[in-house]
Amino acid sequence: MQNTWEKLLEKIGVVKTYEDAAQNHKTYTADDETLRQIVNCLGFELKNIDESAQLLQKLENKRWQYTLEPIYVVRGGQKIFDAAVKIGEVDALTLSVLHNGQPIEVQYTQQIVETKQIGRHEYARVQFTVISDMAPEYYEIELTSGGNIAHSVLAVTPEKCYVPEVLTRQKLWGFAIQLYALTSARNWGVGDFTDLQNFALMCAKVGADVIGVNPLNVLFHDYPENASPYSSISRLFLNPIYIDVEKVAGYKPEYIDAATLDYVRQTTDIDYTAVYNLKMTALKKIFEKFVAKPQAREYQKFAKYCADAGSDLDNLATFQAIYSAYHDKVFGGWRGWKKELQNPYSAAVAEFKKTHEREILFFKFLQYIAESQLQEVYQTIKECGLKIGLYRDLPVGLCKDSAELWAGNDLFIKDCGAGAPPDVFFPTGQKWCLGAFNPYRLKAAAYRPFIKILRAAMQGAGALRIDHVMSLMRLYIIPDKSEDGTYVYYNFDDMLGIVALESYLNKCMVVGESIGNVPDGFIDKIHARGIYSLSVLWAERWNGGGDFKAPTDFPQSAFCSVGTHDMAPLKMRWFGYDIETMFKLKMLDEQERQNQYQGREDERRRLLGALDWAGVWPQDKPRQCDCLFGEGYPNGLTEAVEAYASESNSAVYLAQLEDIFGVEVLQNLPGTDRDKHPNWRRKLPVKIEDYAQNDDFNRAVGIIRQKRKTD
């Protein structure tokens, strides 16, 4: 029988005992102090566990103290919601439904489903069932009771997310790329939006219909080396490092230093500081000429963009301007600023805006140019006829020292960061230190902050990857001053419904990155709502670590790939260089190192067996040896693996250029920063202009086209 403390945790949605997804499936019980801290970080006041009964009673009474929830997320075929009113007001209730502020006529029924006595008053919970058909959309509810009017949002969702009709009859393929890693003869040491355009043109020529990209969100202006695309300062706006400066109207070659440009083009890894400063130097000079002509047509377009982007853009640009003014004077990010600047709506911030108008305008200009160039990418993709097009990536969280947290700090779980417990791929677990939405504050805001970031990522895209999609149900939360954490639950049905509705409205399909500690039945639930899962070759094995599944056994409602940006590319994985890297960084001890090598040897043996069974070795490169004991990299292995994975039953196959070009270094090693490993800095060894003449590329593409039966 549960005690009161455990009942309180269950009521709030904080997990006491959980299991990881590592090889031995260890069970953990979070200590009570960690649990109490998390309860308080969610906004509940609990000084000690002995007060659990009082808090539990308070929470159980709370729903009866307001008429309507902030939002009701319902399915089109079951439009049911409730209201709490005094028993004497039930017969006088009047319900109105509006769309875009205009009343619409709906038929409904109402009935009392529960009553409760609180103090001197008896309350009734009245259930409303809307009978009329309503298209998937957001509606406003007005409920009149006792002379008062309560307001709420009714989100009517489709049964499933949007899925392109072509996927019902054809298997597609494309590439998963890291935009920053693209190399070309013309870019400035980092892949940019023009490279992405040219990549789309190449895809059209070879029959690829999907381009998966890393998150494109804005990072720190003053710290370009903080390069993780999964730790942005705002998921609503773009990283200006991807601007092709030479394409911006008003650019002149004399705006930059030719020697620096030559240097950033020649480096093996990206020098973010040099690249970013080079671009900013030129863009500031262009900007000064631009703002000097406020009557020009282009400036009027910029002004309209700023007006349409509204307070979100204003908050970002103001945050960046304040950060630039104080980053070398104040330690601790925006929480280290003087108190009056920590509130974006304070008089001090308003005064800062007046005295730093030009600096703020420059940051808005960067977003305008970046957005304009991304729209050109979308137009090129449309003209090329790619069936899905850009497949964008929505991070699970964002940097805690960010504009999003500065502008809406109460929306996020305080003094905690998101992470993940150990799993097969990351045996030591992960402490991402990312800001995560507070599920209670998020619902109180009618999910609008979540809706905003979905729309920002979906607009123009054909598909959206939701990073760590399990966070729609639960997220592993770690207090800042601890290494131990536990899971916090979200309103899964609401989150799924919002995703489905935004997918439908934006005509953008959804893919959930589902690698790690996946709850039982979770994949079935997201598939039921039309969210595709992510299938990775290394995870498609029977019983977790047995034989590789046959291509026909891969999930159909999935985007399939060999690996991810967090995993070693094929050639690196084959040799186990990633294991040695982790050992040298003391992420593995000697025993774990040996265990990993033994597991990798077994993986290689089983992989070769699967490739033999499937008969996918290229005819001119048959397997000649086992290559298990230092005999080298098997001739034809890359093509055989591409053939095996692309032959899968999955709806979409995504090839990775790192595999095709034989890259032997990691793009990202989770759990490390750049002081230990050059994460997010690896350039591809082949320029876009040379793909058509590259034998490895042409052979891989030829095999994929054959297996995917591309016309």
Sheet strands (E) in 216-339 = 217-218, 234-238
d(CA 473, CA 432): 18
**What is the distance of C-alpha 425 from the center of its chain?**
19
Sign of the Cα pseudo-torsion (660, 666, 671, 674, in order): negative
d(CA 645, CA 607): 11
Please answer whether residues 55 and 36 qualify as being in contact, where contact means their C-beta atoms are separated by less than 8 angstroms: no
Tally Cβ neighbours within 10 Å of residue 325. Answer: 17
List the structure tokens of 207. 């029959």
List the structure tokens of 597. 């090598």
Query: In the prediction, which pLDDT does 627 show?
Result: 67
List the structure tokens of 5. 């403390």
Asked if residue 431 has pLDDT above 90, the reply is no
Sign of the Cα pseudo-torsion (131, 135, 137, 139, in order): negative
Tell me which residue of 169, 171, 188 sits closest to 180, measured CA to CA: 188
What is the residue type of 641?
Answer: V
In this structure, the strands spanning 509-512 and 532-536 are: parallel
Torsion angle of C-alpha atoms 547, 552, 557, 561, degrees rounded to 10: 60
Over residues 204-236, the pLDDT tens digits come to 999 999 999 999 999 999 999 999 999 999 999
List the structure tokens of 376. 């050109």
d(CA 699, CA 689): 17
Q: How confident is the model at residue 357 (pLDDT cuts 50, 70, 90)?
A: very high
What is the residue type of 490?
Answer: Y
Residue 391, beta-bridge partner list: 212, 463
d(CA 281, CA 266): 20
Query: In the prediction, which pLDDT does 147 show?
Result: 80
In this structure, the strands spanning 94-99 and 137-145 are: antiparallel
Query: In the prediction, which pLDDT does 364 show?
Result: 98
Q: What b/e sequence results for 208-227 when a residue is b if at least 16 CB atoms lie within 10 Å of its CB, and e otherwise?
A: bbbbbbbbbbbbbbeebebb
Over residues 529-571, the pLDDT tens digits come to 999 999 999 999 998 789 999 999 999 999 999 999 999 999 9
Average pLDDT on 276-287 reads 98
Over residues 137-178, the pLDDT tens digits come to 999 999 998 788 999 999 999 999 999 999 999 999 999 999
Query: In the prediction, which pLDDT does 419 show?
Result: 86
Please answer whether residues 318 and 360 qualify as being in contact, where contact means their C-beta atoms are separated by less than 8 angstroms: yes
Over residues 637-670, the pLDDT tens digits come to 999 999 999 999 999 999 999 999 999 999 999 8
Angle at the Cα of 307 from the Cα atoms of 306 and 313, rounded to 5 degrees: 50
Tally Cβ neighbours within 10 Å of residue 475. Answer: 24
Question: For all residues of the chain together, what is the average pLDDT?
Answer: 94
Residue, of 403 and 328, whose pLDDT is higher: 403
Tally Cβ neighbours within 10 Å of residue 387. Answer: 16
Please answer whether residues 63 and 123 qualify as being in contact, where contact means their C-beta atoms are separated by less than 8 angstroms: no
- Surface-to-core class of residue 109, CB atoms within 10 Å of its CB (0-12 exposed, 13-18 middle, 19+ buried): exposed
Give percent of the chain with pLDDT exceeding 70.
98
Compute the chain's Rg from CA coordinates. 27
Asked if residue 1 has pLDDT above 50, the reply is no
Q: Minimum mean pLDDT among 21-35, 111-125, 332-346, 394-408: which range?
A: 21-35
List the structure tokens of 336. 């280290």
Measured in degrees and rounded to the nearest 5, phi and psi for residue 666 equal: -85, 140
Q: Minimum mean pLDDT among 183-187, 329-333, 412-416: which range?
A: 329-333
Query: In the prediction, which pLDDT does 692 show?
Result: 96
Please answer whether residues 202 and 420 qualify as being in contact, where contact means their C-beta atoms are separated by less than 8 angstroms: no
Query: In the prediction, which pLDDT does 672 show?
Result: 84
Over residues 117-133, the pLDDT tens digits come to 988 889 999 999 999 99
Tally Cβ neighbours within 10 Å of residue 331. Answer: 8
Sheet strands (E) in 396-452 = 398-399, 416-420, 430-435
In this structure, the strands spanning 474-479 and 486-489 are: antiparallel
Angle at the Cα of 452 from the Cα atoms of 450 and 453, rounded to 5 degrees: 70
Q: How confident is the model at residue 413 (pLDDT cuts 50, 70, 90)?
A: very high
Tally Cβ neighbours within 10 Å of residue 291. Answer: 15
Query: In the prediction, which pLDDT does 30 show?
Result: 92
Q: How confident is the model at residue 671 (pLDDT cuts 50, 70, 90)?
A: confident
- Surface-to-core class of residue 103, CB atoms within 10 Å of its CB (0-12 exposed, 13-18 middle, 19+ buried): exposed
Average pLDDT on 456-463 reads 97
Q: Minimum mean pLDDT among 249-258, 261-270, 420-429, 605-614: which range?
A: 420-429
What is the arrangement of strands in the sheet containing 71-75, beginning at the earlier edge strand?
71-75, 148-157, 137-145, 94-99, 102-104
d(CA 342, CA 406): 7
Residue, of 20 and 106, whose pLDDT is higher: 106
Residue carrying the six token digits 């970013």:
276
Average pLDDT on 303-322 reads 97
Query: In the prediction, which pLDDT does 623 show?
Result: 85
Over residues 584-638, the pLDDT tens digits come to 999 899 998 999 999 999 999 999 999 999 999 999 998 877 766 556 888 899 9
Kindly report the pTM of this predicted structure.
Answer: 0.95
Average pLDDT on 430-447 reads 92
Tally Cβ neighbours within 10 Å of residue 158. Answer: 19
What is residue 694's three-state secondary structure?
A: coil
Q: Which domains does the chain have, with CATH numbers?
A: 4-62 (no CATH), 77-157 (2.60.40.10), 165-564 (3.20.20.80), 565-711 (no CATH)
